[in-house]
Amino acid sequence: MVRALLLGIVWALLAGAAASAETQPLIVFAAASLRQPLEQLAPDSPAPYVVSPGASGTLARQIEQHAPAALFASADPHWMDYLSQRGLIAPTSRAELARNSLVVIARARQHLRPLVRLQDLPARLGDAHWATADPASAPLGAYAFEALTRLGIADALRASAAFAQDAGAAVELVAHGGARYGIVYATDARLSREVGVELEIPDDLHRPILYEAAVVTKAPSTAAQVLAYWRSAPARRLFMSLGFGRAVDH
């Protein structure tokens, strides 16, 4: 009986390893923050696909190692450049899906005095902390500090910064952890009902926060159709309904 069980396990694993490509839906490697919009768009897609979420950097490295992805949707242009330089994406297919903007959040229903300008943040904080993602590991932190540097308040706020592993964790810190404010993406503010947007940070204070997608080389021709669908008007409306900013066509 034990022998039969072992054989069954080995068979099941090998069956997984040798899955044929023709009958499977397209695999989309997408940054975790894009999982929700892309999955919601899936039912009306011209070709069926599944979303495989991860960190943009890990996804790019996996595509480099011949991961079976047909499309790559990245939250960080740096990694799209990485693949482009290595000739791993179809160069003309690279396109913007959406943008994002930065917001300042605080715990909901707190009735704090309104934060009118980002420059007022250091004074408003006092001894308290503010949260964002660690600039070393997540682009959110880099964008946040870029905006703060542009206003000349980065040094003043560095000591009181609480770095979280990613945007979700930063939101949690504000919702429950005692960080009075947080700087996250507009889309992240919706991750928790416990936080509300205090202030929208102007887009000109940082590089554009781009979500791009491209067709991976050697992907089936249907991949390009999916990408075109993601850039269509109905798809754009869905992105915006989830808090994303409008994509800019070049």
Partner 1 sequence: MAPEDLSALVVSLKVALGASLIAMLLGAPVGYALSQVRRRPGAGLWSGLGLEFLLHLPVIAPPVVVGLVLLSTLGGAAPLGSWLEQNFHIQLAFTTAGAALAAGIVAAPFAARAASLSFEGVDSTLQEAAHASGAGRLDTFVNVTLPLAAPGLIAGLLTAFAVALGEFGAVITFAANIPGQTQTLPLAIYAALAAPGGEERAAHLALMAVSMAGLAVLAAQLLRARAQRGFGP
Interface with partner 1 by CB under 8 A: which residues?
Answer: 6, 9-10, 12-14, 16-17, 19, 27, 29, 32-33, 35-36, 50-54, 58-59, 61-62, 64-69, 168, 190-192
- The SS3 call for residue 145 is helix
Residue closer to partner 1, measured from CB, 151 or 217: 217
Q: How far is the CB of 69 from partner 1 (least distance, A)?
A: 8
What lies within 8 Å, CB to CB, of 1 at 6+ separation is: none
Which tokens sit at 164?
A: 């979280």
Give the nearer residue to partner 1 in terms of CB position, either 10 or 116. Answer: 10
Choice between 150 and 190, CB closer to partner 1: 190
Cα angle 145-72-201, degrees, rounded to a multiple of 5: 25
CB of 22 to partner 1, least distance (A): 15
Minimum distance of partner 1 from residue 19's CB (angstroms): 7
Q: What are phi and psi of 42, to 5 degrees?
A: -60, -45
> Closest separation between CB of residue 36 and partner 1, Å?
4
Alpha carbon distance 235, 231 (integer Å): 6
When the beta carbons of 109 and 193 are compared against partner 1, the nearer one is: 193
Least distance between partner 1 and beta carbon 107 (Å): 16
In whole angstroms, what is the distance from residue 227 CA to residue 95 CA?
Answer: 8
* Residue 123: CB minimum distance to partner 1, A: 31
Shortest separation between residue 241's beta carbon and partner 1, angstroms: 12
Q: Are strands 102-107 and 195-200 parallel, antiparallel or unpaired?
A: antiparallel
What is the rounded CA–CA span in Å between residue 212 and residue 49?
17
- Return the number of the residue (22 or 249) whose C-beta is nearest partner 1: 22
Of 99, 119, 97, whose CA–CA distance to 41 is shortest? 97
Q: How far is CA 44 from the centre of its chain?
A: 22
Count of C-beta atoms within a 10 Å radius of residue 136: 8
Cβ closest to partner 1, residue 125 vs residue 169: 169
Which candidate, 62, 16, 27, 68, places its Cα nearest to that of 226? 27
Q: Quick one: 66 or 237, whose CB is closer to partner 1?
A: 66
Distance CA 44, CA 226 (A): 10
